[in-house]
């Protein structure tokens, strides 16, 4: 990675390190419920991941490992990787408290093939991961390298079309129409955001307010995976997403966020599976 990317990683890592304690304590993530035995995976991944019992699985950008541990409870042998040392420390602690055998590795996504010698039956990437990565082709090459031949990626993400839109009046209630606000296609400079609170809704003010985020269009993501030697076996667009993209979104009883009734429907997330040939 270039120096510019190193700066991006340092800015983003500081932010992620700071939010871990807030997220672990937040009702958004449901750590307490997980420790009490609840299945905290959301309905889309629950319906789509299939049978992973007995499979080796690497969860890339695993945050503090709650989803990783939920996948372990389904019988997979799991390894989570994240570049936030606070996230990895929290993941190890929660694994111990839950009595779940899991491996957590601290490191940059782009270094994963060197940091982890094992190759896996499954790679798992979900909800708010690839937007932190400047180079989507490099990401796809890492995914391909981490898989055994015949191994499969499951990716579940915010939809890049939706991520290009914003409700300009979101801070004041969010009743206004969605407008194209951010680039859809990637490849350029990062979008620089300044936000002093995190997405889980707590009021805690953050010291690390700045983040660098990258757009990746659907075609760019698919082409990157195909070029890296994976073949697409599944692709679906969804009308619900794991976090509130805009003030007008409503949370359902299934913890998913949707546009209000009567609003033209739009894809707000997508999922895919791709197999290493």
Ligand X SMILES: C[S@@+](CC[C@H](N)C(=O)[O-])C[C@H]1O[C@@H](n2cnc3c(N)ncnc32)[C@H](O)[C@@H]1O
Q: Which residues bind ligand X (CB under 6 A)?
A: 9, 12, 16, 61, 63, 66-67, 82-84, 87, 108-109, 126-129, 132-133
1 closest CA partner among 109, 86, 155, 80 = 109
81 in Cβ contact with 105 (< 8 Å): yes
| Cβ closest to ligand X, residue 66 vs residue 221 | 66
142 in Cβ contact with 224 (< 8 Å): no
- What gap in Å lies between CA 248 and CA 177, rounded to an integer? 9
Looking up tokens 């951010």 gives 182
Q: Tell me the CA distances in angstroms from 56 to 26, 61, 114, 135, one per residue in order.
A: 29, 16, 18, 26
Q: How far is the CB of 265 from ligand X (least distance, A)?
A: 24
275 CB-contact burial (10 Å; exposed 0-12 / middle 13-18 / buried 19+): middle
| Cβ closest to ligand X, residue 169 vs residue 202 | 202
111 backbone φψ class: left, alpha, beta (φ>0; ψ -120 to 50): alpha
| Cβ closest to ligand X, residue 84 vs residue 271 | 84
- What gap in Å lies between CA 25 and CA 31, rounded to an integer? 7
Q: How far is the CB of 263 from ligand X (least distance, A)?
A: 25
| Cβ closest to ligand X, residue 87 vs residue 274 | 87
Q: How far is the CB of 6 from ligand X (least distance, A)?
A: 10
215 CB-contact burial (10 Å; exposed 0-12 / middle 13-18 / buried 19+): buried
| Cβ closest to ligand X, residue 16 vs residue 246 | 16
Q: How far is the CB of 131 from ligand X (least distance, A)?
A: 8
**Six-digit token string for 67:** 């989803």
| Cβ closest to ligand X, residue 131 vs residue 151 | 131
What secondary structure letter does DSSP report for 131? G
Q: How far is the CB of 16 from ligand X (least distance, A)?
A: 3
Q: How far is the CB of 87 from ligand X (least distance, A)?
A: 5
| Cβ closest to ligand X, residue 84 vs residue 240 | 84
73 in Cβ contact with 93 (< 8 Å): no
Q: How far is the CB of 84 from ligand X (least distance, A)?
A: 4
């Amino acid at each position: 990675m270039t120096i510019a990317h190193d700066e991006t990683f340092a800015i983003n890592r500081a932010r992620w390190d700071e939010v871990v304690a807030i997220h672990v304590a937040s009702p958004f993530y449901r750590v307490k419920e997980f420790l009490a035995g609840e299945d905290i995976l959301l309905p889309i991944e629950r319906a789509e991941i299939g049978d992973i019992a007995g499979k080796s699985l690497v969860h890339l950008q695993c945050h503090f490992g709650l989803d990783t541990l939920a996948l372990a409870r389904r019988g997979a042998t799991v390894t989570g990787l994240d570049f936030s040392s606070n996230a990895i420390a929290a993941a190890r602690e929660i694994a111990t408290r839950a009595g779940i055998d899991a491996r957590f590795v601290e490191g940059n996504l782009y270094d994963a093939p060197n940091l982890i010698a094992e190759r896996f039956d499954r790679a798992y990437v979900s909800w708010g991961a690839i937007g932190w990565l400047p180079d989507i082709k490099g990401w796809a090459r890492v995914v391909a390298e981490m898989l055994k031949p015949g191994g499969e990626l499951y990716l579940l993400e915010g939809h890049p079309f939706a991520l290009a839109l914003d409700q300009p009046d979101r801070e004041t209630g969010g009743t206004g129409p969605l407008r194209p606000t951010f680039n859809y296609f990637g490849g350029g400079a990062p979008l620089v955001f300044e936000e002093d609170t995190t997405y889980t809704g707590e009021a805690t003010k953050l010291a690390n307010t700045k983040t660098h985020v990258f757009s990746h269009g659907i075609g760019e993501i698919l082409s990157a995976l195909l070029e890296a030697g994976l073949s697409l076996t599944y692709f679906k667009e969804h009308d619900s997403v794991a976090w509130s993209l805009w003030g007008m979104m409503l949370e359902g009883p299934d913890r998913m966020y949707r546009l209000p009734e009567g609003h033209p429907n739009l894809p707000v997330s997508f999922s895919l599976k791709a197999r290493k040939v």
